[in-house]
Chains A and B, each alone.
Chain A
Amino acid sequence: MTIHNLYIFSKSGVLLYYAEWNRLNKSGITKEEEAKLMYGMLFSIKSFVSKISPLDSKEGFLYYKTSKYTLHYLETPSGLKFVLNTDNVAQNVRNLLQQLYSQVYLEYVVKNPLCQLNEPIQSELFKLKVDELMKNSPIFLNRSL
């Protein structure tokens, strides 16, 4: 099992944070462009899912899977978006994202008055804690595919 990379977007679509661990294929565009592309796709999927769903779905979009990887998506009611790419066998990723929100983002960004909420996160402590959480997760296995 492995974790590829992580995006955090604010309510208004600003890329707050990006980190990667095992990413073999580079997109070949700048990080900013990639973030825009990613956010645009998520936005479209979200509205697609809510329009096309035959039932009134409460949760909305949760993840998608390709033959090679799975993209997990967690959006808080306040509009924060956590996006994590893993391989296809990873379990309980939703739980991990919830932990990322409540144990890392909340503690080291929201409770840090020096972190502006709608700007890219600069805090070294936050970076450290994200890395720690991911590497301690059973999903994370440092091995190249």
Chain B
Amino acid sequence: MSKTRLDQKKVNSELFTLTYGALVAQLLKDYENVEDVNKQLERMGYNMGIRLIEDFLARTGCGRCYDFKDTAEKIQMGFKIFLGITPTITNWSPAGDEFSLCFEVNPLTEFVELPDHCLNLKYCNILTGVLRGACEMVQMEIACWFVQDQLKNDSTTELRVKFIKRLEDAIPAGDD
């Protein structure tokens, strides 16, 4: 069941790109406000992330992260598994609590151009939500945002990730 699954269920990235495009276009129609769309994408990403992390853990058998460098590598591995791309990890902050993921190619944004009235749209904002949701499930609170975007004529797409705090394990609810 599981051995062949990886190969059988591989989907064409173009189908994925277009489906995501349809989603963003629909959100723009529904909300008519770019800021709301950004927020909504992040929220949807979060909901995906909290489930996707289980898939990631089951496939890779990863344990908890030792440090934030380890986290960065695992996030990179996640992109490899789910999107088939390997972003580069760069621009570590001196404190080691912030890094950037740089995308040369981004399957989400193939065939995409932003029209003039959507210049504030963070087209790939769903990714920030996915990362936040996934990390939260492994007891790590992070913040995540785009600093560069190829859709806005930057040379690469750069996603900044910042460690905020480690969440505590839940203690059992006491008998009242």
Contacts and interface: CB of A to CB of B under 8 A. Distances in A.
B139 interface: yes
A13 interface: yes
A106 B63 contact: no
A117 interface: yes
B10 interface: no
A144 interface: no
Interface in A1-34: 11-13
Contact of B172 (A40, A77, A102, A111): A40
B139 A79 contact: yes
Nearest to B59: A102
B34 to A, nearest CB: 27
Most chain A CB neighbours (cut-off 10 Å) among B63, B169, B172: B172
A73 interface: no
B54 A12 contact: no
A68 interface: no
B73 interface: no
Given A36-B175, A103-B2, A78 B54 contact: yes
A36 B172 contact: yes
Given A58-B63, A77-B62, A79-B139, A110 B54 contact: yes
A106 B58 CA distance: 8
A78 B2 contact: no
Contacts of B57: 76-78
Most chain B CB neighbours (cut-off 10 Å) among A43, A76, A80: A76
A80 B171 CA distance: 14
A69 B169 CA distance: 28
B167 to A, nearest CB: 10
B54 A79 contact: no
Contacts of A11: 137, 170
Contacts of B152: none
B64 interface: yes
Contact of B137 (A40, A78, A102, A105): A78
B1 A103 contact: yes
A117 B46 CA distance: 14
A11 B172 CA distance: 10
Nearest to A118: B50
A13 B50 contact: no
B53 A78 contact: yes
B19 to A, nearest CB: 16
A72 B2 CA distance: 23
Contacts of B139: 79
Contacts of A102: 2, 58-59
A36 B171 CA distance: 12
Interface of B: 1-2, 50-51, 53-55, 57-59, 61-64, 137-139, 169-173, 175
Interface of A: 11-13, 36, 39-40, 43, 58, 76-80, 98, 101-103, 105-106, 110-111, 117
Q: Closest 3 A-B residue pairs measured CB to CB? A: A102-B58, A78-B137, A110-B54
